Amino acid sequence: MPGEHEPQASVWMAWPERTDNWRFGGKPAQVTFAKVAEAIAETTPVTMVVSAAQFENARNMLPNHIQLLEMSTDDSWMRDIGPSYVVNDNGERRGVDWHFNAWGGLIDGLYFPWDKDDAVARKVCEVLGDNSYRAPIVLEGGSIHVDGEGTLYTTEECLLHPSRNPDLSREQLEQVLGDYLSVEKVVWIPQGLYNDETNGHVDNLIHVVRPGEVVLTWCDDEQDPQYDISRRALDVLQTQKDAKGRTIKVHKMPMPGPLYISEDEAFGVDASDGMEREAGERLAGSYANYLISNQHIIYPLLDPAHDDEVATLLSALYPGYKVTGVDAREILLGGGNIHCITQQIPRV
């Protein structure tokens, strides 16, 4: 599986409209998704999938150079429902189609049914003319990060959660990941970001900058639950080697906020059994939830106290890259961020 820093042919997204997740029928989120798509499209072609009911609206809101494709989904988290791509030495590209159960199935999933989302990965591969493998485990794309050189990062909180693959041990999961992604080393971080409703996706806590180097969401407030989570993650990252035997270099990235849902924001969301969208609910905000796409960083603007500091850090970590910030609070209100709503297709 190539790293995100490697060349990409396109980035895929899905249009938001679910009323029990996105406030006011998804209208504010749609504006933000369009801005993210436009930013990515400066360096990489973007395909946006959209329901038949929203096709004309989306076409009107998106510039013509962003491809629009009718496809059924249950929500709009393309990172988790799209295919994870692998490439071989002959320049062939194939998609890995994981089982998707809405972040927890009937145990603690966020919605039901999820069958449309579960079919997306295979459909993307069909559209692109790529073969795909149906993997034998439940997994979301946001629960893994790879460096393109055999190392995979994940969290125990998510992959070992009883709502994913309760019959498989850590060793058995590592075997499946090795078989399907050709990774040689799995780095298990204990927990993801505090109050992350995905059971702690790794892409909301860290990002792989390049092989042997990561950023980690950092918190200096000893009273904040994230304080200990980040320190345990740092301990794991600094005491393990990657697949090539390198000591992992860790850069600390400030945590925004903490941020909370306001009364006005909660008011516009339909009631739901699975998702907490009530006033005062803490949001799992993280600057690590950015996208790398063809020498371009698209990162979320989340907190005026830290936005510029993060831009400076990213510019230093990625010399020569374009760095673009997009106001991403509307995505955060839905439970994720820029990395969560995008899925890159490697160039071969």
Mean pLDDT of 202-227: 98
What residue type is 95 in one-letter code?
Answer: G
Say what the pLDDT of residue 273 is. 76
> Which residue range(s) make up the domain with 60?
8-346
| Structural tokens at position 100 | 């998707």
Say what the pLDDT of residue 158 is. 98
**Closest CA relative to residue 274, chosen from 148, 101, 28:** 101
What residue type is 197 in one-letter code?
Answer: E
Signed CA dihedral, 199, 332, 141, 103: sign only:
positive
Cα–Cα separations (whole angstroms), residue 187 to 103, 136, 183, 208, 343: 21, 21, 11, 12, 22
Catalytic: 219? no
pLDDT tens digits for range 38-96: 999 999 999 999 999 999 999 999 999 999 999 999 999 999 999 999 999 999 999 99
Is 321 in a helix, a strand, or coil? coil
Q: How confident is the model at residue 141 (pLDDT cuts 50, 70, 90)?
A: very high
1 inside domain: no
Instruction: Please report, in angstroms and rounded to a whole number, the separation of the first and last CA atoms in the chain.
Output: 12
Catalytic residue among 125, 158, 219, 340: 340
**What is the total count of domains within the chain?**
1
User: How far is residue 264's CA from residue 249's CA, in Å, rounded to a whole number?
Assistant: 41
124 inside domain: yes
Mean pLDDT of 121-136: 98
Say what the pLDDT of residue 270 is. 86
Say what the pLDDT of residue 278 is. 85
CATH number at residue 182: 3.75.10.10
User: How far is residue 240's CA from residue 248's CA, in Å, rounded to a whole number?
Assistant: 7
Q: How confident is the model at residue 271 (pLDDT cuts 50, 70, 90)?
A: confident
2 inside domain: no
Average per-residue pLDDT in the chain?
Answer: 97
User: How far is residue 100's CA from residue 210's CA, in Å, rounded to a whole number?
Assistant: 28
208 inside domain: yes
| Structural tokens at position 126 | 């069909």
* Residue 333 scores a pLDDT above 90: yes
**Closest CA relative to residue 248, chosen from 114, 94, 145:** 145
* Residue 275 scores a pLDDT above 80: no
259 inside domain: yes
3 inside domain: no
pLDDT tens digits for range 241-265: 999 999 999 999 999 999 999 999 9
Q: For residue 219, how far is the Cα from the chain centroid?
A: 21
